[in-house]
A and B are shown apart, each in its own frame.
Chain A
Amino acid sequence: NAGVTQTPKFRVLKTGQSMTLLCAQDMNHEYMYWYRQDPGMGLRLIHYSVGEGTTAKGEVPDGYNVSRLKKQNFLLGLESAAPSQTSVYFCASSYSRRTGEGYNEQFFGPGTRLTVL
């Protein structure tokens, strides 16, 4: 099992360009997440999905869009990249939570390092 994979691993964009980050998981997880990690800020949730065809906003959703057309894939799009979006992006997945219980452990991908000039 590959677990959670992310493509690409590195990318440099110019301001205003667009791109899509792809996350794939082979664990049949219902939930998937996109985070960004900046120095001194910890991980911040951008968007997440609790199932195929569903998406929801996280803590810092502005400037990003997502789609979950297939259960195993979660795409993160930047329509018009800005220097403030320079960051390391992590995708994660987990099993769905049972009623009344907290969220389950998350499995993380290796990250995508994005630089916007």
Chain B
Amino acid sequence: SQQGEEDPQALSIQEGENATMNCSYKTSINNLQWYRQNSGRGLVHLILIRSNEREKHSGRLRVTLDTSKKSSSLLITASRAADTASYFCAPSGYSTLTFGKGTMLLVSP
């Protein structure tokens, strides 16, 4: 299975702080994707990093990928209350995406 496993399960921080969440997976991949889900909504794609990339940025998001350790991290800098959501990683190889259980991030004002 390519299912990603996010860690921690829950994270609570103050506005302005950075939030880091991690993803581990077990098989080789072609890319790894991160998604956000606000309460009661569908998932929204945040960023895709290919297996030959080590780091990628998008606005306040920074994603790293270490294929030797089969792990990825998502860093959200200068968090805002609007970043409160669940975050999912989805490794992708030759089978369909498999989503983990997510990290629930709470950003308090």
Contacts and interface: CB of A to CB of B under 8 A. Distances in A.
Asked if A and B are interacting partners, one says: yes
Interface of A: 4, 33, 35, 40-43, 45, 48, 58-59, 90, 92, 100-111
A8 to B, nearest CB: 15
Contacts, number: 56
Nearest to B44: A108
B57 interface: no
A101 B99 contact: no
A100 B51 CA distance: 12
A111 B41 contact: yes
B43 A106 contact: yes
A43 B45 contact: no
Contact of A43 (B29, B50, B88, B94): B88
B102 A108 contact: no
Contacts of A43: 43, 88, 99
A35 B100 CA distance: 13
Contact of A42 (B42, B96, B102): B102
B85 to A, nearest CB: 13
In which size bucket is the chain B interface? 20 to 34
B79 interface: no
Contacts of B31: 101-103
Contacts of B56: none
Given A103-B96, A108-B42, A111-B42, 4 more contacts: A42-B88, A101-B31, A108-B43, A109-B42
B92 A102 contact: yes
Nearest to B30: A102
A55 B42 CA distance: 22
B75 interface: no
Contacts of B42: 4, 90, 92, 108-111
